Amino acid sequence: MESDRIPWTERTFDFEFPAGLRHELLVRLRGTPARVAESARSAPADMLTKRRDESWSIQENVGHLVEVEPLWLGRLDDYDAGLEVLRPADMSNRTTHEADYNAQPLEDVLCAFGNVRSRLVARLERLAPDRFSQSAHHPRLDQPMRIVDLMLFAAEHDDYHLAHIVELIRRLR
C-alpha cells in the first residue's frame, strides 16, 4: 500500500501503561465492528473484492478480523489456564485465505465480525479488575503480555486492518 506503512509483523509494542486503561480499550474493541462496517459500506460494491498488488481486498480484510477473533478468545483461555506462554498466531493466515471472503456477501462478513467480537467484549466485561494485570509470554513479540495488553494489541490489529480498508477505498476510487 504505502511505502511508509509499517507491516504488522514488524510492529513493536511498549506495554508500559496502567491496567486502568482497560475501560477505554474495551470501548475501542466494542466499537470496531461499527467502524469497520461504516468504512466497508462506503465503498462501491464493485470495489469490495478488488485487490491491489498482493494485498487483501476490503472484504478479505474484514474476514481476517473474523478469523483472528478466536485467537484473542483462545489467549483468554490461556490466561484462565494459567499458562506461561500464550498460543501462537497462524502467521500464514491460512483460515483467512481458505474462507474465500470475496465470494460472500459483505453484510454476512460484517455480521460475522460483529458476532464474534461481541463474545470477546462480553468475556472481558466479566473479568474481575485484578485479572487485567495477569501476564503471560507472547511468543512472537517475545515479551510479557497482560490481558490489558492483549486488548491493546487486538485494538491495534483492528485499526491496522481498518486503515488498510480506508487506504484501499482511497486508492481504488
Q: What's the pLDDT score for residue 53?
A: 80
In degrees and rounded to multiples of 5, residue 82 shows phi and psi of 70, 25
| Strand 135-138 to 143-146 pairing | antiparallel
Mean pLDDT for the stretch of residues 67-76: 98
Which residues pair with residue 135 across a beta bridge? 146
Residue ranges covered by each domain of the chain? 17-172
Length reported for the chain = 173
Q: What's the pLDDT score for residue 4?
A: 83
CATH for the 17-172 domain, from 3.40.190.10, 1.20.120.450, 1.10.10.10, 3.90.230.10: 1.20.120.450
Is pLDDT at 104 greater than 60 in this prediction? yes
| pLDDT tens digits along 4-40 | 889 999 999 999 999 999 999 999 999 999 999 999 9
Mean pLDDT for the stretch of residues 117-130: 98
- CA distance linking residue 66 with residue 60, whole number of Å: 10
Is pLDDT at 2 greater than 60 in this prediction? no
DSSP string, the chain: --TTPPPGGG------S-GGGHHHHHHHHHHHHHHHHHHHHTS-GGGTT---TTS--HHHHHHHHHHHHHHHHHHHHHHHTT-SBPPPP-TT-HHHHHTTGGGS-HHHHHHHHHHHHHHHHHHHHTS-GGGGG-EEEETTTTEEEEHHHHHHHHHHHHHHHHHHHHHHHHHH-
Q: What's the pLDDT score for residue 1?
A: 44
Read off the pLDDT band of 54 (50, 70, 90): confident
Predicted structure pTM score: 0.94
